[in-house]
Amino acid sequence: MWPSVSYEELPWHIDPDERAMISKTARRGIASSYQAAIPAEIASLNLAIPEALSARIGELLVKLARFDELQAVRGYDLPALLLRSESAASSQIEHLTSSVRIVALAELTSEAPANARIVQGNIAAMRTALSLSESTTVDQIRAVHEALIAPTGASFGGEIRDEQVWVGGTAYSPHGALFVPPAPQRLAGALEDLVAFIRRDDINPVAKAAIAHAQFETIHPFIDGNGRTGRVLLHIVLASEGVLSRSTLPVSAGLLHDVDDYMAAIRAYQQGDPMPIVTCTIEALELALVIGGRVSALIDEVMDAWKKDIKERAGSSIWRLPALLAEQPVVTIAFVAEKLGITPRAASTLVGRACAYGMLRPMGSRRRGEYFQSDELIDILEEISSVPGIRRVLASGAQ
């Protein structure tokens, strides 16, 4: 049996001046105490997975290993592209949207819109997570959150909260909230317990990732960004378990496909049933494999067409440009010069040739210089960064 979340009653105080600004009807809903969750300790719990579900995970692990191996022979970084899809989908689950082009632009300039910087933070958090050592620690989770928040300019990145937060309800009290996470004094112990669970070697890796994610969402250790950090944690566990050592899959795109089911699975976990979130994670990974396979085929076509078009000699720097665009589909001449190790003049010539081949297109001048985008790569990424696009990709992959 998996324990459900328990609750404790804690005092609630609201500043009189703030209370005076609230309507009389709303005041009646504010009590002198509230119920905060106490997450179960899971570090030493046994997890019994039904035989049919275990067999399904076994088949999934074989497919994941096969997909992972294919990334080693590619001439470009497909995981870097899929990482963008993962970050966009994870942000959309929180109702945060921005175009792929604007997010890529946000990585080159601080003048991008707020939502683009938020999604950019998700990309930075994923990159931080995938660079971590195998042994997960609380400090590593904090580092991921810090990378997530930094592009927004907020100061609380990586800081464990010292105040009560809640999900849903009103802005001025936890009364009527959908879920009230644990009080701040319980967070340190709950996170250490979670990390101890992640370090175990006797639990199916996919089930471990699912449980770790749901437990993190229950702990809710940060003021903001818990959902996105929790979905990054899925990747941390899968990478540390060796399930995906070379590649990244848009798992959040699979979750975005049916957000209601995903949220219901989190609630079921908190009520003592871990199987829905395990099943939900399996389904998300299965869908992510379809998306990843379809996207890799589309990008292979683009890369092959570019290689056929390029007329320069074999040692020319332009042959290295496609791989760079896979990582960053919006560039400046200065960026190309730095990344390819060539002079600005040579980079200008190279970008001009890339525009002639149709690999790049000028986006227009800005105060910090001229920007260029790869329409073909951005179009593919946009397709897997929205619910309608994801469903079209899944439909085409199933045919």
Each residue of 173-218: pLDDT tens digit?
Answer: 899 899 999 999 999 999 999 999 999 999 999 999 999 999 999 9
What was the pLDDT predicted at 316?
94
- 273 part of a folded domain: yes
Q: Which residue would you say has higher pLDDT here, 122 or 372?
A: 372
d(CA 114, CA 165): 23
For residue 389, being part of any structural domain is answered with no
- Which of 112, 80, 108 has its CA nearest to residue 99? 112
- Do 323 and 283 have their domain in common? no
Q: How confident is the model at residue 398 (pLDDT cuts 50, 70, 90)?
A: low
Same domain, 250 and 362: no
Mean pLDDT of 91-102: 78
pLDDT value for 397: 59
- 198 and 308 housed in the same domain: no
Domain's final residue, options 292, 311, 341: 292
Whether residue 203 is found in the same domain as residue 352: no
Considering the domain architecture, whether residues 360 and 228 belong to the same structural domain is answered as: no
Residues 263 and 363 in one domain: no
pLDDT tens track for 247-306: 788 888 888 888 999 999 999 999 999 999 999 999 999 998 988 888 888 889 999 999
DSSP 135-170: S--HHHHHHHHHHHHGGGT-S-TTPPP-S---BSS-
130: domain CATH number is 1.10.3290.10
Q: Structure tokens of 362?
A: 């000028």
Nearest Cα neighbor of 192 from 155, 140, 237 is: 140
Specify the pLDDT at position 118: 81
Tell me, yes or no, whether 227 and 300 share the same domain: no
DSSP states of 228-244 as a string? Answer: HHHHHHHHHHHHHTTSS
Q: Domain of 345?
A: 294-381
Q: Are residues 134 and 281 in the same domain?
A: yes
Tens digit of each residue's pLDDT (9 = 90 or more) over 141-156: 999 999 999 988 899 9
Between 394 and 91, name the one with better pLDDT. 91
Residue 20 within a domain: yes
Amino acid occupying residue 173: S
Last residue of a domain, one of 253, 273, 292: 292
Shared domain check, 238 and 187: yes
Please tell me the predicted confidence (pLDDT) of residue 179: 96
- DSSP assignment of 311-335 equals -S-TT-GGGGHHHHHHH-SEEEHHH
Is 182 in the same domain as 264?
Answer: yes
Note the pLDDT tens digit of each residue in 7-31.
Answer: 999 999 888 777 777 887 778 888 8
What lies within 8 Å, CB to CB, of 65 at 6+ separation is: 243
CATH label of the domain that carries residue 343: 1.10.10.10
- Of 292, 307, 328, the residue at which a domain comes to its end is 292
Q: 394 in a domain, yes or no?
A: no
Pick from 253, 133, 147: which is nearest to 198 by CA? 133
Task: Flag whether 26 is in a domain.
Answer: yes
* Within a domain: 280: yes
Together in a domain, 261 and 338 = no
Residue 392 within any structural domain of the chain? no
In a domain, 393, yes or no: no
Q: Count the domains in the chain.
A: 2
pTM of this structure: 0.89
**213 & 158 share domain:** yes
